[in-house]
């Protein structure tokens, strides 16, 4: 079997075998299959798709294309959580300590922001001293001792995926459902998760803009995970507007801290409680007896207990332990006013009376990039201080009067601030009639 025959078979709509997919991926990682054949293959997959079975084979081949992480010497059952990204998505900062405080360990390898979507590592680095580069030994020790650790990738997990993703980025083959699903799932499988809670976002500020697309991706990833012996739950979270009120690294850390204190925006709090509850449920349901969570463990109870960690200070205490373990300055998290802040803060005023009908999350995300708080291309530095903070009234469904602030721009310069205000003004739409706020979670697929 030659590689060109595998390409041609996919080009002509054939279903590839496990052996064919493995041959291709192994050869690609070994440098025996050149980039140009991989590019032709990806474009053929773009047009022909892959069956769930093929996508599972692809995921497995990529997951085991390099080192894999085994955390079972530290925890009996590893629950991971994956968000498909978005604007204002600081969920990991809150959910990690929530579930860890209930005895479910969270060891996450996270990523950086790119394009309109932020990244967890960038947010954590807004806390002075926080180290994202840990050795495997450090990672495991913290996971055992603290129960929560969030770092960058230490090993080169799923190198096939890294190599293939870089290629897809420059060959117009990013937007392929099986390639997207395989990319995400291969990293999760390589990182050693026994169960995965997928937090798939839908809307203008997400990679999937419509509910059917998001559900299709979520169901495909769940099918792949189950096919590889993992327990899977997927939530479809709303990303038509930013999650919570803050977008921008230090601003989001401050909002996460507010939420960990039992305050914070209602939609973000609900999102965190729902995600945490699914992580608790999947951990408890599938390893009965191993969790330290007391009581019966049904959905309602999981939500109640998850919410309680925000209100009774246990999540906050776990957060402090975590941040301190990774070198973060506790004086700053205890007093978020000491986080980096921008010199210029200006409001966007409502141009008319009415109800907010639209806040384009993607435009808000790009505005943060324009302000210097995100990356247009990999490797760009980020300014932690800048960003956007919405007023509650400035979110969808909010009732506003002309001249009231919709949001506040935190900028480094006047020029950048003016440009941001102009871009954000165009991201809004208003209605005379009342508008319903979108649901925080559109669907849960267990």
What are the catalytic residues?
Answer: 82, 161, 168, 183, 187
Quick check: 8 binds a second copy (CB under 8 A)?
A: yes
Kindly report the number of other CB atoms within 10 A of residue 210's CB atom. Answer: 11
Cα separation, 316 vs 310, whole angstroms:
7
Selected from 42, 191, 195, 350, the binder of a second copy by CB under 8 A is 42
- Which range binds a second copy by CB under 8 A, 31-39, 101-109, 241-249, 325-333? 31-39
Cα separation, 233 vs 446, whole angstroms:
5
Quick check: 172 binds a second copy (CB under 8 A)?
A: yes
User: x-or-dash pattern for a second copy, window 47-66, by CB under 8 A?
Assistant: x-------------------
Cα separation, 282 vs 275, whole angstroms:
11
Number of residues interacting with a second copy: please give it, by CB under 8 A: 23
Kindly report the number of other CB atoms within 10 A of residue 109's CB atom. Answer: 24
The DSSP 8-state label assigned to residue 340 in this structure reads: -
Quick check: 170 binds a second copy (CB under 8 A)?
A: yes
Selected from 76, 136, 167, 421, the binder of a second copy by CB under 8 A is 167
* 197: β partners: 81, 233
Q: Which is nearer to a second copy, 172 or 351 (by Cβ)?
A: 172
Residue length of the chain: 446
Task: In the chain, count H helices and then E strands.
Answer: 17, 13
Quick check: 37 binds a second copy (CB under 8 A)?
A: yes
In this structure, what are the phi and psi dihedrals at residue 441, rounded to the nearest 5 degrees?
Answer: -120, 120
Selected from 16, 29, 43, 315, the binder of a second copy by CB under 8 A is 43
Quick check: 257 binds a second copy (CB under 8 A)?
A: no
In this structure, what are the phi and psi dihedrals at residue 58, rounded to the nearest 5 degrees?
Answer: -60, -45
Q: Which is nearer to a second copy, 6 or 275 (by Cβ)?
A: 6
Q: What letters, b where the CB count within 10 A reaches 16 and e where it falls short, cover 34-46?
A: eeebbbbbbbbbb
Selected from 171, 223, 270, 413, the binder of a second copy by CB under 8 A is 171
Query: At closest approach, how far in Å is the CB of 196 from a second copy?
Result: 31
| Residue 59, phi-psi category: left (phi > 0), alpha (psi -120 to 50), beta (remainder) | alpha
Quick check: 404 binds a second copy (CB under 8 A)?
A: no
Selected from 21, 29, 40, 143, the binder of a second copy by CB under 8 A is 40
Quick check: 35 binds a second copy (CB under 8 A)?
A: yes
Cα separation, 314 vs 319, whole angstroms:
9
In this structure, what are the phi and psi dihedrals at residue 237, rounded to the nearest 5 degrees?
Answer: -100, 145
Q: Which is nearer to a second copy, 41 or 130 (by Cβ)?
A: 41
Selected from 23, 25, 28, 46, the binder of a second copy by CB under 8 A is 46
Selected from 36, 51, 304, 401, the binder of a second copy by CB under 8 A is 36
Cα separation, 44 vs 26, whole angstroms:
19
Is 194 within 8 Å of 77 (Cβ atoms)? yes
What lies within 8 Å, CB to CB, of 202 at 6+ separation is: 208, 209, 210, 211, 213, 214, 236, 237, 238, 239, 240, 442
| Residue 192, phi-psi category: left (phi > 0), alpha (psi -120 to 50), beta (remainder) | left
Q: Which is nearer to a second copy, 30 or 36 (by Cβ)?
A: 36
Query: At closest approach, how far in Å is the CB of 23 from a second copy?
Result: 15
Selected from 1, 14, 15, 34, the binder of a second copy by CB under 8 A is 34
Quick check: 95 binds a second copy (CB under 8 A)?
A: no
Query: At closest approach, how far in Å is the CB of 41 from a second copy?
Result: 8
Query: At closest approach, how far in Å is the CB of 292 from a second copy?
Result: 50
Selected from 21, 25, 39, 276, the binder of a second copy by CB under 8 A is 39
- Which range binds a second copy by CB under 8 A, 32-40, 96-104, 149-157, 392-400? 32-40
Which sign does the torsion angle of CA 211, 217, 220, 224 carry? Answer: negative
Quick check: 94 binds a second copy (CB under 8 A)?
A: no
- Which range binds a second copy by CB under 8 A, 165-173, 287-295, 336-344, 360-368? 165-173
Look up residue 359 and give its two tokens: 């806040």
In the complex, which residues of this chain contact a second copy (CB under 8 A)? 3-4, 7-8, 11, 34-40, 42-44, 46-47, 167, 169-173
């Amino acid at each position: 079997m030659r590689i060109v025959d595998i390409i041609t078979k996919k080009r002509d709509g054939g279903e590839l075998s496990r052996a064919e997919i493995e041959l291709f991926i192994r050869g690609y990682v070994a440098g025996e299959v050149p980039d140009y054949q991989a590019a032709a293959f990806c474009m053929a997959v773009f047009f022909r798709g892959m069956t769930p079975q093929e996508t599972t084979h692809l995921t497995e081949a990529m997951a085991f294309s390099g080192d894999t992480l085994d955390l079972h010497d530290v925890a009996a059952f590893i629950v991971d959580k994956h968000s498909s990204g978005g604007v204002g998505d600081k969920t990991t900062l809150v959910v990690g300590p929530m579930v860890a405080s209930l005895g479910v360990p969270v060891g996450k390898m996270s990523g950086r922001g790119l394009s309109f979507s932020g990244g967890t590592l960038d947010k954590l680095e807004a806390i002075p001293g926080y180290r994202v580069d840990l050795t495997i030994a450090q990672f495991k020790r913290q996971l055992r001792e603290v129960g929560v650790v969030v770092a960058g990738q230490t090993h080169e997990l799923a190198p096939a995926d890294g190599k293939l993703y870089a290629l897809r980025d420059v060959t117009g083959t990013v937007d392929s459902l099986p390639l997207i699903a395989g990319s995400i799932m291969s990293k999760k499988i390589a990182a050693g998760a026994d169960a995965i809670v997928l937090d798939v976002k839908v809307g203008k500020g997400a990679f999937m803009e419509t509910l059917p697309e998001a559900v299709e991706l979520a169901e495909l990833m769940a099918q792949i995970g189950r096919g590889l012996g993992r327990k899977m739950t997927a939530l479809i979270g709303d990303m038509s507007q930013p999650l919570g009120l803050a977008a921008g690294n230090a601003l989001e850390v401050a909002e996460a801290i507010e939420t960990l204190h039992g305050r914070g925006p209602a939609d973000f709090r609900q999102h965190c409680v729902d995600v945490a509850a699914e992580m608790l449920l999947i951990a408890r349901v599938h390893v009965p007896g191993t969790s330290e969570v007391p009581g019966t463990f049904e959905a309602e109870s999981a939500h109640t207990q998850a919410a309680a960690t925000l209100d009774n200070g246990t999540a906050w205490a776990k957060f402090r332990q975590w941040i301190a373990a990774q070198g973060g300055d506790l004086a700053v998290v205890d007093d978020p006013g000491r986080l980096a802040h921008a010199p210029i803060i200006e409001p966007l005023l409502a141009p008319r009376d009415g109800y907010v009908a639209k806040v384009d999350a993607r435009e808000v995300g790009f505005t943060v990039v324009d302000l210097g708080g995100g990356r247009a291309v990999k490797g760009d530095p980020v300014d932690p201080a800048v960003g956007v903070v919405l007023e509650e009234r400035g979110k969808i469904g909010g009732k506003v009067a002309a001249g009231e602030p919709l949001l506040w721009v935190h900028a480094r310069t006047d020029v950048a601030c003016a440009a941001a205000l102009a871009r954000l003004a165009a991201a809004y739409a208003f209605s005379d009639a009342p508008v319903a706020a979108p649901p925080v979670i559109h669907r849960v697929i267990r």
